[in-house]
Structure 1
Amino acid sequence: MQSLRTPDERFANLPGFNFTPHYLQVSDTEGGELRLHYLDEGAADAPVVLMLHGEPSWSYLYRKMIPLVVAAGYRVIAPDLIGFGRSDKPTRRTDYTYQRHVDWIRAVVEQLDLQDITLVCQDWGGLIGLRLVAEHPERFARVVAANTMLPTGDHPPGEAFLKWQRFSQSVPVFEVGALIQGAITSKLSAAERAAYDAPFPDESYKEGARQFPLLVPCSPDNPAAADNRKAWESLVKFDKPFLTAFSDKDPITAGGDKVLQKLIPGCAGQPHTSIENGGHFLQEDQGEALARVVIDFIQRSR
């Protein structure tokens, strides 16, 4: 598998992002390896909070949350998905599959031997993270799901997602910073927009970002549909604490929180919340508020 690696200088002096990079190697499933980047903040023996980003962001999305969660006494692991951030970027669209993304993040969990995990997941972070919760429930202590879902393709996606999917495949230049700005309620500075663009020097680095919208199971015969149905067989038995913290201004995932609350036993009796004035990327709009929700939830459910 051929891949690109974003030059380190692209990540110099990003606003609000003074974190040390860490790397590990994961199998590309074709006999080679890819370098995956992750943040590892806080004491090594502190309880683990695993923060998974989605499309087309990277761990920069969690910069407002990480210091608060670490200050509360936790260890934060925030990987960059393969194809994003400082992680390697395979060059062919077909290199990116749902299963490979799950396997790549599973490798992070296993290589770092993460246990008693609090998962914080949004967008594709949930599509990947909830699969891992279902397949390895013994490693997870609790879940915070924010603007995400685990679709099986058995129910049609909303028009907002289909519009995004069509746009992602037709727009000639995939401007990541502009896309983030269009999906939030707050105003990014020019430097912050540039930080979201930093992983992608040109269009050749964006094959993963382009492919992600096509990997979401939107029909029952999608290649990932059967695996997600199997995951739901486990999730409907998951009785550890499970909290939904969706935002109030996200047309993509609106209503998904109610589905999760209905189907997952661990949602019963939890203080589910709607975070005000947050768009799809609520970590950007209301990162501090979401961090407080996460901290309170861990402390309440320990």
Structure 2
Amino acid sequence: MEFLSTPQNCFANLVDYPFAEHFIQVSDNAGGELNLHYVDEGPKDGEVVLMLHGEPSWSYLYRHMITPVVDAGYRVIAPDLIGFGKSDKPTEQGAYTYQTHVDWIRALLLTLKLSEITLVCQDWGGLIGLRLVAEHPDLFARVLAANTMLPTGDHALPEAFHKWKDFSQQVEIFPVAGIIKGATTTSLSESTLAAYNAPFPDESYKAGVRQFPLLVPATPNDPATAANRKAWQVLQRFNKPFITAFSDSDPVTAGGDDIMQKLIPGCQGQHHTTIINGGHFLQEDQPQALTKVLLDFMQANPICTQ
């Protein structure tokens, strides 16, 4: 499989991202291996918080949350999905499937031997992370879902999604930082926008970001539909603590929190919240508010040890 690795000098001037690099190798499903980058901060024996980003961001999205969560005594793992951030980037869109993304993050969990995980997921971080929760419920202790969902294609997706999908395939130059900027409610600095562009020196690096919109199950016969339906069967029995923290200004995922609260038993009795003045990328708009929700949630739902 052909792939690209973003040159290190592209990341030379990152602001507010002081984290050491870590890599594992994962299968490219063609007999080769890809490097998957992840942040690993905090005590190695601390409770694990897994922060999963989505489209078209990378672990940089969580930079304002990682340090305070570590300061609270937890270990934070924040990977870059294959095709994003500092991870390798296959150059053909067809190399990326929903299943391969799930398998690549599964490989991270198993390689690092993570357990009693608290999942924080947004956008595709939820499409991938919630599948893993359903397929490995024994590895997860808690879930915080923010502006995400686990679609099966059995229900119509918002018109905003279909417009986004069309745009992603038709635009000549995929404007990564512009997408982040357009889906936030706050003003982003030039250095922040440059950091979101950093993993993608040119269009040849962007096959993964272009492919993601095509992978969202939008019809009942989508390749991922059966697996997501099966995942929902497990999630509808998942009774470990599960909280939603959606923002008030995201037209794509609005209402997904209500569905999860209704269907997932672990949502019962939790202090679900709507974060005010947050766009789709609420980690950019309201990182302190989302961090507080996370830490309060974890402290209110301690892991029971035998």
Show the counterpart of 1:50: 50
SS in 2 for 1:65: helix
Task: Give the SS at the match of 1:39.
Answer: strand
**1:88 matched to which residue of 2?**
88
What residue in structure 2 maps to residue 161 of structure 1?
A: 161
TM-superposition CA deviations, 1:130-163 (whole Å, max 9, x none):
0000000000000000000000000010011111
Q: Output the CA distance in 1 between the equivalents of 2:70 and 2:116.
A: 16
**What secondary structure, in the 3-state scheme, does the structure 1 residue paired with 2:108 have?**
helix
The amino acid that maps onto 2:76 is: V
How far off is 1:124 after superposition? Answer: 0.1
Matches of residues 34-73 of structure 1 in structure 2 within 5 Å?
A: 34-73=34-73
2:198 and 2:166 map into 1 onto residues whose CA distance is: 24
**Aligned residue runs from structure 1 range 134-213, under 5 A:** 134-213=134-213
CA distance in structure 2 between the aligned counterparts of 1:297 and 1:72, rounded to whole angstroms: 13
Inter-partner Cα distance in structure 1 for 2:168 and 2:30: 28
Shift of 1:232: 0.6
Distance in 2, matches of 1:269 and 1:162, equals 34
CA distance in 1, matches of 2:103, 2:154: 23
Separation in structure 1 between the aligned mates of residue 160 and residue 76 of structure 2, nearest angstrom: 32
Amino acid at match of 1:96: Y
For normalisation by structure 1, the TM-score amounts to 0.99
Task: Please report how far the alpha carbon of residue 97 of structure 1 lies from its aligned counterpart in structure 2 after TM superposition.
Answer: 0.2
Aligned to 2:253: 253
Runs of 4+ off more than 2 Å: none
How far the C-alpha of 1:31 sits from its partner, in A, is: 1.1
Counterparts of 1:289 and 1:67 in 2: how far apart (Å)?
14
TM (norm. structure 2) is: 0.98
Residue 15 of structure 1: how far off its partner (Å): 1.0
Q: Distance in 1 between matches of 2:160 and 2:201?
A: 28
Give, in angstroms, the shift of residue 30 of structure 1.
Answer: 1.4
Deviations 1:217-273 (A, max 9, x none): 000010000000011110000000000000000001000000000000000010000
- Secondary structure of 2:64's counterpart equals coil
Q: What corresponds to 2:277 in structure 1? A: 277
Alpha-carbon separation, structure 2, partners of 1:231 and 1:28: 24
Separation in 1, partners of 2:159, 2:145: 22
Cα distance in 1 for partners of 2:12, 2:71 equals 24
Distance in 2 of aligned mates of 1:177 and 1:118: 28
Which residue pairs with 1:220 in the alignment? 220
Once the two structures are TM-superposed, the CA of residue 288 in structure 1 deviates from its matched residue by 1.2
**Deviation of 1:13 (Å):** 2.5
What RMSD in Å do the two structures reach over aligned CA positions? 0.5
Equivalent residue for 2:77? 77
Cα distance in 2 for residues equivalent to 1:272 and 1:200: 36
Partner of 1:133 in structure 2?
Answer: 133
Secondary structure in 2 aligned to 1:20? coil
- CA distance, structure 1, for counterparts of residue 31 and residue 288 of structure 2: 42
SS at match of 1:18: coil
User: What per-residue deviation string (whole Å, max 9, x for no partner) do you get for residues 263-298 of structure 1?
Assistant: 000000100000000000000000111011101100
Structure 1 unaligned blocks of 5 or more: none
Q: Secondary structure at the match of 1:63?
A: helix
Q: Which amino acid aligns with 2:3?
A: S
1:70-98 deviations in Å (ceiling 9; x for gaps): 01110000000000000000010100000
Identity %: 68
Deviations 1:42-78, CA, capped at 9 Å, x for gaps? 0111000000000000000000100110011100000
CA deviations on 1:87-123 (whole Å, 9 max, x unpaired) are 0000101000000000000000000000000000000
Shift of 1:12: 1.3
